[in-house]
Amino acid sequence: MLTELYLGGASPLHRARPGLKILALAVFCTALFLISTWPILILGMCFVGLGYGAAKVPVAVAWRALRPALWVMIAIFAVQIYLADLVTGLFVTLRLSTMILAASLVTLTTRSSELIDAIQSGLSRAPEWVPARQIALALALALRFIPIVRQVLADVTEAQAARGMDRNLRAILVPLTVRLLKMADEMALAIDARTPE
């Protein structure tokens, strides 16, 4: 079954309207991309850090948001150094890390049902032929997908480490792929179940 990643709490972030959080996330990530300067990036990193502090999210939980993406970020860092320079590589990697943490903060402080309702409410003025409920579910699942993959990867890696196979890439990728395919089937069934006859 799909994992609920909501971390309960009574912070202002937990109480904030889901639609407002989604909009803020979109504006935040867009700003980081459009305004590629160090001051804006540092400000964004501080903003995300304050958000985790306000929501009382443990450091270990924040670290788990980044850990599965480490190899990807290392690869991006290396490519940027090769194509540009060290400073550019560091900037791009930190920007990606900040965006991942920001998205994880939204999913940790918002229930899946609230995300679906907020997106559906935002689509309420769309024409009748637009499947607002199905779009809302798909977008909410998409918001959940990255942190869920993160958790699945952590589970698979931990299980293979217990067998002494944590350094075997094939031993990790095969069960990871199987579980993600199963998850995709569950998502498809969830969307079908919400589709009116």
pLDDT attached to residue 2: 41
Inter-residue contact 48 to 103 (CB < 8 Å)? no
> pTM, whole model, 2 decimals?
0.70
pLDDT at 94: 94
Q: Per-residue pLDDT for 71 more than 70? A: yes
Query: What span, in angstroms and rounded, lies between the C-alpha atoms of 26 and 178?
Result: 31
Q: Decide: helix, strand or coil at residue 13.
A: helix
Residues contacting residue 67 through CB under 8 Å, at least 6 positions apart: 150, 154
Give the span between the Cα atoms of 57 and 8, in whole angstroms: 10
Which tokens go with 83? Answer: 């194509």
Calculate the average pLDDT of the chain.
81
pLDDT exceeds 80 at position 114: yes
CA distances from 170 to 25, 125, 151, 166 (A): 35, 48, 18, 10
